[in-house]
Amino acid sequence: MAAESAVTTCFRHPQVESHVRCTRCDRYICPSCMREAAVGHQCVECVKEGARSVRQARTVFGAPVGTVPLVTYVLIGLNVIAYLVELARPEFEYRFAMLGATPAGHLPEGVAHGEWYRLLTGAFLHLTPGEGTFGITHILLNMVALWNVGRVVETQLGRIRYTALYLLSALGGSVLELLLDPMSYSVGASGAIFGLGAAYWVMGRRLGQDMRAVNRSMAGLLLWLVISAGLTSWQGHLGGLLAGGVVTLAFAYAPRDARRTLVQAGVCVALPALLLVLAWLKATSLTA
């Protein structure tokens, strides 16, 4: 009886005899519960507790280091799916494209007539083959730019900040287009991508990178902004550039303490509120 009482078992598997203790909690553990530690072995629960107590490395902008650019992949997928729907049903493009209002005498449509979703849905659509100046080149150029710039920006900002940046840049482009050219009809992710370009430039300055390469990228964007004045919606491009720059400035230069999240979230709430107020005032004037 004395020999039986001396038998020790794993605290997680009482039926398994064990003679090894966890170096952290001092409980007996069986081979399936052992995890190698710097000294001896630890149990599964202590390893998990230790992992929670270790502070995860983060970028200057607050994102976990090593973030996989999943949002960029999802955005590219959404644009491609929307494009395939456009090819199958051409009326889909007109129904969701960015349109402020129609001229007098036409069927009233657009943001000014309550179709507010167009402020964002137009940013996921592109010109189809045989339509406009670019055709299929439109989506190809935008997706290549999104692939190249988006992944870099997302790994620095993290998924939540990056998503906010992308959507607010798209919204900023649509609102400026509504303010300056409400009768125009446009589609494309260019406004959002211009916002990513602005973010890339701001982040480069914040990180102290060699700005020659960063400035060349920004110069290319500005050159395209000038060229686009005669080809596509330069208002949407400029609006996305400005909105993306404002958002990224908040992400990059917010205090690196408990106030950082509050400042960043505050800008991400205040900017769309301002944009929507401007859009509402413009819509009201168009339907007065």
Q: How far apart are CA 261 and CA 161, in angstroms?
A: 10
What is the arithmetic mean of pLDDT over 8-19? 86
pTM above 0.75, yes or no: yes
User: Is residue 53 very low, low, confident or very high in pLDDT (cuts 50, 70, 90)?
Assistant: low
- Within-domain flag for 59: no
Q: Are residues 96 and 160 in the same domain?
A: yes
Q: Are residues 114 and 157 in the same domain?
A: yes
pLDDT given for residue 227 in this prediction: 67
Q: 117: domain CATH number?
A: 1.20.1540.10
Amino acid at 78: L
pLDDT given for residue 226 in this prediction: 67
Decide if pLDDT at 231 tops 70: no
What is the arithmetic mean of pLDDT over 148-172? 94
Q: Are residues 222 and 95 in the same domain?
A: yes
Q: Are residues 194 and 252 in the same domain?
A: yes
- Within-domain flag for 147: yes
What is the arithmetic mean of pLDDT over 215-239? 74
Percent of the chain with pLDDT over 70: 90
- Within-domain flag for 60: no
- Within-domain flag for 229: yes
User: Is residue 171 very low, low, confident or very high in pLDDT (cuts 50, 70, 90)?
Assistant: very high
User: Is residue 1 very low, low, confident or very high in pLDDT (cuts 50, 70, 90)?
Assistant: very low
- Within-domain flag for 138: yes
- Within-domain flag for 280: yes
Q: Please list the helix, strand and coil fractions of the chain in percent, rounded to the nearest 5, in that order.
A: 65, 5, 30
Q: Are residues 89 and 148 in the same domain?
A: yes
Buried b vs exposed e over 214-240: b needs ≥16 C-beta within 10 Å? beeebeebeebbeebeeebbbbbbbbb
Please answer whether residues 63 and 157 qualify as being in contact, where contact means their C-beta atoms are separated by less than 8 angstroms.
yes
Q: Are residues 94 and 46 in the same domain?
A: no
- Within-domain flag for 205: yes
Q: Are residues 105 and 230 in the same domain?
A: yes
Residue 205's contacts (CB-CB under 8 Å, 6 or more residues apart) are 211, 214, 252
Q: How far apart are CA 52 and CA 65, in angstroms?
A: 16
pLDDT in tens, 109-128: 999 999 999 999 999 999 88
The least confident of 51-60, 153-162, 164-173, 177-186 is: 51-60
Catalytic residue numbers? 190, 237
What is the arithmetic mean of pLDDT over 57-72? 83
Name the residue with higher pLDDT: 14 or 180: 180
Q: Are residues 38 and 74 in the same domain?
A: no
Residue/partner pairs of 23-28 with CB below 8 Å, 24 or more apart: 24/50
Residue 221's contacts (CB-CB under 8 Å, 6 or more residues apart) are 194, 197, 198, 241
Q: Are residues 228 and 102 in the same domain?
A: yes
What is the arithmetic mean of pLDDT over 93-106? 89
- Within-domain flag for 246: yes
Percent of the chain with pLDDT over 90: 47
Q: Are residues 115 and 20 in the same domain?
A: no
pLDDT given for residue 67 in this prediction: 77
pLDDT given for residue 2 in this prediction: 44
pLDDT in tens, 242-264: 999 999 999 999 887 778 889 99
pLDDT given for residue 240 in this prediction: 94
Q: Are residues 141 and 35 in the same domain?
A: no
Domain of residue 40, residue span? 2-53
Looking at the structure of the chain, the number of domains it has is: 2
User: Is residue 228 very low, low, confident or very high in pLDDT (cuts 50, 70, 90)?
Assistant: low
What is the arithmetic mean of pLDDT over 219-241? 76
Q: How far apart are CA 249 and CA 253, in angstroms?
A: 6
User: Is residue 3 very low, low, confident or very high in pLDDT (cuts 50, 70, 90)?
Assistant: very low
Q: Are residues 125 and 39 in the same domain?
A: no
User: Is residue 54 very low, low, confident or very high in pLDDT (cuts 50, 70, 90)?
Assistant: low
pLDDT given for residue 5 in this prediction: 53
Chain Cα centroid distance, residue 59: 16
What is the arithmetic mean of pLDDT over 62-81? 90
Decide if pLDDT at 236 tops 70: yes
